[in-house]
Amino acid sequence: MKFSLSRFPIKTKLTVATLIPLAIGIVFCFLAGIFIVNTKMSGQAQEKAKTDLNVAREALRQELSRVNDVVRFTAALGATAPAIDAGDRTTLATLLGPVRQAEHLDLLTAVDAYGKVVFRAANPLIYGDLQNGDQYVARALKGEVAAGATVIPVSRLALEGGALTQRAKVVAGADTVVAGLFLKVAVPVRAPSGTVVGAMCGGVLLNNNNALLEKIKTAVYEGAGQRKEVGAANLFFGKVRIAGAGPATANYPAGEKLPDEIYRSVLLGDNRTVERTFVSNDWYLTAYDPIRSLQGVPLGALYLGMQESNYSTGRSDLNLLLCAVVFLSLLIGVSVSGVLGSRLARPVKELSMLAKKLAAGERNVQSNIDSRDEIGDLAGSFNEMSRALNEREERIIELNRDLEKKVEQRTAELEENNRLLLQTKEELLRVEKLAAIGELAAGVAHEINNPMAIIRGNTELLQLSIDEDDPNREEVETIFAQVKRVERIVTNLLKFARRERREQGTVQLNGLLKDILAQIGHQESLDGIELEERFSPKVALVSGDSGQLHQVFTNLILNAVQAMPAGGTLTVETLPGLDEETFQVCISDTGVGIPAENVNQIFNPFFTTKTTGTGLGLSVSYGIVKEHGGTIEVTSRPGFGTSFSVILPI
């Protein structure tokens, strides 16, 4: 899986970004602190070790000075000089024996002016041997005081005291030490006159003298206000440890030898040496000081050792403090960056939530983040965007509304156009049918013409042959008039079929209608029919063919009468049109009416609801009115009656 920073929240990133430099800085500071503390502490520890070494040496010197005091005291006793001079060993025994015992000296020996042993307090039975070869004795006999460390070889140890050989023995592997390392003092013994009559020697064996080392250790470590178990003090004779005190951790084991480099540095090089050594699991601070002979030759070494941590308890405290500081700064860093991070992330989260709301369709979402940083800018842009979005949506809604309105308008226009188209189509159909029927009628009329001519001729003959007062005269006249009308119709039909303009003249509508009403009784029974005439007083003159118009109104009136088989009212009305240019004729009845589904068909040729009807009346009338530039309209209520109105141009 690829590691990507981008999937962590801002808060975490900020925390990490803050913590990384902080942690690096802190770690550097920590290491530097530890380094400084450690070097400083190490230096201090080494200084301290040197001081300790001085204290130890001082303790050793004190022991020497104690021996010195004792020896001087015995040398100065009034009885000592004469007893040595006289070789009075009994007196010497009473003088030296108790002092040696009380002061725990391993040697207390009186020699005469020649260096010959007069009395050995540690070994009274042996005397008379010469000691003038001994540096200390030689010096004392010269009148000086000699004090220092010295080695007494095994051959002489037996002389000095029977138990000394045993006590000096230190087993150290192959190099078993049997010689004794002593602190030794020799002082001159003078006669009252001041002449040196002999010397008094005293000494303390250092081999296995753990009590002395204990004293030194106490002086060093307790004097410094520390627990005395913390460090060890050892004494080396040559390479070999001959005495020691202190805890095992800081101690050389009994019989252990000095490491070669230490031996070289301290004993061969005659140097005081302080070292840091890592032993098993901790650092140790070890200090060595050479122990020199009277001539200044290193014979052995005084050693102090202790765990370095004991020197520097403060160090661990300091380290602890540093750790605490590091931990505290990290804690503060984490919490501060955490708080900062969440404060920074909060507005971002809010913006994301608002954006979701916006996406879900909520309108005019506004954030109220008022920080002046980039996030504030972002919030401002977001608000701007939200506002703009809102405005745009409102504009779109408005445009939609406009569009809908326009579509409605266009649809209405389209419907109107459709209606007009349908009407035109119907009209066209009707005109076509009219044309067809016209042609048919023309054909029929043409055929009728010849028989009609014969009927006319014969009727004229009948007219001429009948008397003026003959009772049948009127019928003959009527036949003649109707024959002429038939001829006219036929002629008109022929003319109509040939699409020619009719005989143009002026027609007085009122007169024409009156004529028709007078004649109508001949064609249809008017029983039970009330006639109502409402003629306009204004002279109703229209231009046109009176014969054709006669036919139109006859048709309409006949239809009205036929619609009222049970009687009713027939109204014939003439009135001026709404404008000054037309005249209107209304023919109404109170008959059966026309069902709605038939209204559109009544002008079609051959449409009829009557058994003896031809269905031609209205279609022919329609054609004629149209030919005259007029219109014909119908309104009807089934069961109540029908009204036809013909509007003609004047």
Binding-site residue total for Mg ion (CB under 5 A)? 2
Answer whether 553's CB lies under 8 Å from 512's CB: yes
Q: Is 559 in the site for Mg ion (CB under 5 A)?
A: yes
The rounded distance, in Å, linking the Cα atoms of 577 and 581 is 7
One residue of 117, 602, 624, 625 binding ligand ADP per CB under 6 A: 602
Cβ proximity to ligand ADP, 300 vs 623, nearer residue: 623
CA 541/CA 582 separation, integer angstroms: 10
User: Of 300, 544, 568, 617, which lies in the binding site for Mg ion, with binding defined by CB under 5 A?
Assistant: 617
Region near ligand ADP per CB under 6 A, out of 125-133, 289-297, 431-439, 587-595 = 587-595
CA–CA separation, 517 and 573 (whole Å): 12
| Out of 52, 112, 308, 589, the residue judged to bind ligand ADP by CB under 6 A | 589
Q: Does 604 bind Mg ion (CB under 5 A)?
A: no
Using DSSP, state whether 372 is helix, strand or coil: coil
- Which of ligand ADP, Mg ion, none does residue 513 bind (CB under 5 to 8 Å by kind)? none
Which candidate, 86, 199, 89, places its Cα nearest to that of 134?
199
Only one of the segments 10-18, 56-64, 202-210, 603-611 lies at the binding site for ligand ADP (rule: CB under 6 A); that segment is 603-611
Q: Which of 180, 203, 300, 617 binds ligand ADP (CB under 6 A)?
A: 617
Contacts (CB under 6 A) with ligand ADP, residues 536-575: 555, 559-560, 563
Strands of 295-379 (E only): list them: 298-307
Q: Select from ligand ADP, Mg ion, none the partner in contact with residue 594, using the beta carbon and a kind-dependent cut-off of 5 to 8 Å.
A: ligand ADP
Report the nearest approach of ligand ADP to the CB of residue 588 (Å).
Answer: 8
Largest alpha-carbon pair distance within the chain? Answer: 241
- Which residue do the tokens 């020996």 mark? 109
* HSE value, Cβ hemisphere, 13 Å, CA-based, for 552: 29
Q: Which stretch binds ligand ADP (CB under 6 A): 25-33, 197-205, 382-390, 607-615?
A: 607-615
615 by Cβ neighbours in 10 Å (0-12 / 13-18 / 19+) ranks as middle
Identify which range of 19-27, 486-494, 572-580, 585-593 contacts ligand ADP by CB under 6 A: 585-593
563 binds, among Mg ion, ligand ADP, none (CB under 5 to 8 A by kind): ligand ADP
523 binds ligand ADP (CB under 6 A): no
Binders of ligand ADP: how many residues, by CB under 6 A?
21
Binding at 544: pick from Mg ion, ligand ADP, none (beta carbon under 5-8 Å per type): none
594 binds ligand ADP (CB under 6 A): yes
- Nearer to ligand ADP among residue 582 and residue 601 (C-beta): 601
Q: Which is nearer to ligand ADP, 182 or 644 (CB)?
A: 644
Q: For 634, phi and psi rounded to 5 degrees?
A: -135, 140
| Integer Cα distance of 64 and 145 in angstroms | 12
Q: Is 607 in the site for ligand ADP (CB under 6 A)?
A: yes
CA atoms within 13 A on the CB side of 637: 4
Contact range with Mg ion by CB under 5 A, out of 379-387, 447-455, 590-598, 614-622: 614-622
**Which of these, 203, 199, 204, lies nearest to 76 by C-alpha position?**
199
What is the C-alpha to C-alpha distance for residues 291 and 296, in angstroms, rounded to an integer? 9
Q: What are phi and psi of 359, to 5 degrees?
A: -65, -30
Distance, CA of 574 to CA of 587 (rounded, Å): 9
Q: Please, which residue, 367 or 619, has the CB nearer to Mg ion?
A: 619
Residues 620-649 that bind ligand ADP (CB under 6 A): 642
Secondary-structure percent of the chain, ordered helix, strand, coil, rounded to 5 = 55, 20, 25
Residue closer to ligand ADP by CB (options 311, 644) is 644
Q: Pick from ligand ADP, Mg ion, none: which does 115 bind, CB < 5 to 8 A by kind?
A: none
The two tokens of residue 127 are 């005397």
Q: Which stretch binds ligand ADP (CB under 6 A): 147-155, 251-259, 262-270, 605-613?
A: 605-613
Q: Which does 62 bind (CB under 5 to 8 A by kind): ligand ADP, Mg ion, none?
A: none
Strand segments (E) across 293-406: 298-307
Residue among 108, 100, 236, 106 nearest 163 (CA): 106
Burial class, 301, CB count within 10 angstroms (exposed 0-12 / middle 13-18 / buried 19+): buried
Which residue carries 């095992």 as its tokens?
248
Options 608, 631, 635, 645; binder of ligand ADP; rule CB under 6 A? 608
Sheet bearing 282-292, strands edge to edge: 240-245, 231-237, 298-307, 282-292, 273-279
Please, which residues have CB within 8 angstroms of residue 617's CB and are 6 or more apart in sequence?
A: 555, 558, 559
Q: Which stretch, 85-93, 213-221, 565-573, 610-618, contacts Mg ion (CB under 5 A)?
A: 610-618
Shortest distance (Å) from residue 609 CB to ligand ADP = 3
Residue 589 touches which of Mg ion, ligand ADP, none (Cβ within 5-8 Å per kind)? ligand ADP
Q: Look at residue 147 and give the partner it binds from Mg ion, ligand ADP, none, a contact being a CB closer than 5 to 8 Å depending on partner kind.
A: none
CA distance 432 to 453: 31
Q: Of 331, 299, 628, nearest to 496 (Cα)?
A: 628
Nearer to ligand ADP, 98 or 613 (CB): 613
Q: Which listed option, Mg ion, ligand ADP, none, makes contact with residue 609 (CB within 5 to 8 Å by class)?
A: ligand ADP
Which one of 312-320, 328-336, 566-574, 586-594 is the stretch in contact with ligand ADP (CB under 6 A)?
586-594
Considering the rule CB under 6 A, would residue 613 count as an interface residue with ligand ADP? yes
Footprint on residues 109-138 left by ligand ADP (CB under 6 A): none
Separation between Cα atoms, residue 370 and residue 521, nearest integer Å? 103
591 binds ligand ADP (CB under 6 A): yes
Q: How far is the CB of 520 from Mg ion (least distance, A)?
A: 13
DSSP letters, 187-249, are: EEEE-TTS-EEEEEEEEEE-TT-HHHHHHHHIIIIITTTS-GGGEEEEEEETTEEEEEES-GG
Closest distance to ligand ADP from the beta carbon of 453 (Å): 27
Shortest distance, position 510 Cβ to ligand ADP, whole Å: 21
Residues that bind ligand ADP (CB under 6 A): 555, 559-560, 563, 589, 591-592, 594, 602, 607-610, 613-619, 642
Residues that bind Mg ion (CB under 5 A): 559, 617
